[in-house]
């Protein structure tokens, strides 16, 4: 089976879609990650809280199609500042559950007045954050992952593919 990573019409203008397509293409060159890629059947939604830009990644057992905006019902949703989304490749999977489950407060995608501003690096296009800054965003609920508890395997596989 030959893995396929496609950009849907219009997605070639989306920086989020292009970034994640490049990360997955690089990852599937490794045999251990190709197995995870072939096993995925899910829709991942990624939203940039800075600009409102969104991308949908539709995995279908060895094929990935990236769309600009929202398509379908997501299995897992990642939301946060652009720099944090572009830094997901640095997240250590062992640190992620503690960061996401550390607070008992319920979260939603709706912005609220208590949300603090993203770190200065998020204003630079293509800037990356250090791991501690990403975990800080999770702890402050500025970086959000929905569907982690109901789809942990999908979330971990996606993060492995992004981290390469």
Assess if residue 151 is contained within a domain.
Answer: yes
Report long-range pairs for 97-103 (Cβ below 8 Å, ≥24 apart).
97/148, 99/135, 99/138, 99/139, 100/138, 100/145, 100/148, 102/138, 102/139, 103/139, 103/141
Assess if residue 113 is contained within a domain.
Answer: no
| pLDDT per residue rounded down to tens, the chain (164 residues) | 789 999 999 999 999 999 999 999 999 999 989 998 999 999 999 999 989 999 999 999 999 999 999 999 999 999 999 988 998 887 766 665 555 554 433 333 333 444 444 444 444 445 567 667 777 777 777 888 899 889 989 988 998 899 87
Assess if residue 37 is contained within a domain.
Answer: yes
User: How many Å apart are CA 40 and CA 58, to the nearest integer?
Assistant: 9
pTM over 0.85: no
Q: What is the CATH number of the domain that holds 46?
A: 3.30.1050.10
User: How many Å apart are CA 47 and CA 81, to the nearest integer?
Assistant: 8
Q: What is the pLDDT of residue 105?
A: 35
Q: What is the pLDDT of residue 93?
A: 65
Domain span holding position 56: 4-102+119-163
Assess if residue 114 is contained within a domain.
Answer: no
Assess if residue 112 is contained within a domain.
Answer: no
Assess if residue 110 is contained within a domain.
Answer: no
Assess if residue 149 is contained within a domain.
Answer: yes
User: How many Å apart are CA 57 and CA 45, to the nearest integer?
Assistant: 6
Residue 25 tokens, joined: 């293409």
Assess if residue 109 is contained within a domain.
Answer: no
Q: How many domains does the chain have?
A: 1
């Amino acid at each position: 089976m030959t893995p396929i990573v496609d950009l849907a019409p219009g997605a070639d203008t989306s920086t989020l879609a292009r970034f994640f397509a490049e990360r997955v293409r690089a990852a599937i060159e490794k045999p251990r990650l190709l197995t995870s890629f072939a096993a995925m059947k899910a829709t991942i939604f990624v939203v940039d809280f800075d600009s409102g830009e969104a991308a949908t990644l539709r995995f279908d057992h060895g094929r990935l199609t990236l769309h600009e905006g929202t398509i379908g019902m997501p299995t897992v949703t990642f939301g946060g500042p652009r720099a944090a989304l572009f830094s997901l490749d640095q997240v250590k999977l062992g640190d992620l559950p503690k960061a996401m489950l550390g607070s008992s407060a319920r979260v939603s995608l709706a912005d609220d007045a208590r949300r603090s501003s993203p770190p200065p690096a998020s204003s630079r296009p293509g800037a990356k954050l250090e791991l501690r800054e990403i975990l800080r965003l999770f702890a402050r609920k500025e970086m959000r992952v929905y569907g982690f508890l109901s789809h942990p395997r999908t979330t971990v596989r996606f993060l492995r593919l992004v981290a390469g």
